[in-house]
């Protein structure tokens, strides 16, 4: 299962992303928000990332205005490796090399066409392991500093 969430700045784009996930046959759970009413992105990042870090969801997608606030909040949560992407190369390589488990992007930055390509690049690539595992282990050890 994939956990998805947004704030008011990402609400419209999240609707497009969910439609795309349905077309792809990807099972997801929408953690809100559920309208364009103003909310704090940190609250949504927390519930989505708790689902990922706790194993309820395998991966997460977070959309706010820029993707930046969501990614900052997400990366405060233990076990989360969130990447804010606005190009497909990064969305692909953050899976291959960083084993990112949460993808963030901005509803005021990317259009729906690019956003769906970001989602595909993220979902269609797997962590390569090898030398990257050592680096990820070091990154995750920083949580305990």
Q: Is 132 tagged catalytic?
A: no
Report residue 61 as tokens. 């997608």
- Which phi and psi (to 5°) does residue 30 adopt? -90, 115
3-state secondary structure of 37: coil
Interaction between residue 99 and ligand RB5 (CB under 6 A): no
Interaction between residue 7 and ligand RB5 (CB under 6 A): yes
Check 6, 33, 49, 64 and give the catalytic one: 64
Radius of gyration, alpha carbons of the chain: 14
Q: Site size for ligand RB5, by CB under 6 A?
A: 8
Q: How far is the CB of 63 from ligand RB5 (least distance, A)?
A: 9
Report, as residue numbers or ranges, the catalytic residues: 64, 97
> Residues in the site for ligand RB5, rule: CB under 6 A?
7, 9, 41, 64-66, 68-69
């Amino acid at each position: 299962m994939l956990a998805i969430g947004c704030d008011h700045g990402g609400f419209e784009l999240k609707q497009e992303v969910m439609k795309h996930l349905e077309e792809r046959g990807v099972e997801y759970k929408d953690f809100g928000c559920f309208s364009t009413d103003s909310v704090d992105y940190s609250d949504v990042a927390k519930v989505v990332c708790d689902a990922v870090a706790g194993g309820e969801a395998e991966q997460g997608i977070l959309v706010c205005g820029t993707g930046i606030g969501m990614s900052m909040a997400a990366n405060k949560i233990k076990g989360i490796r969130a990447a804010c992407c606005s190009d497909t190369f990064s969305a692909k390589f953050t899976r291959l090399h960083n084993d990112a488990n949460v993808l963030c992007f901005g509803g005021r930055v990317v259009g729906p066409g690019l956003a769906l390509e970001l989602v595909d690049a993220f979902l269609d690539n797997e962590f390569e392991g090898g030398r990257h595992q050592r680096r990820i282990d070091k990154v995750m050890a920083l949580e305990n500093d």
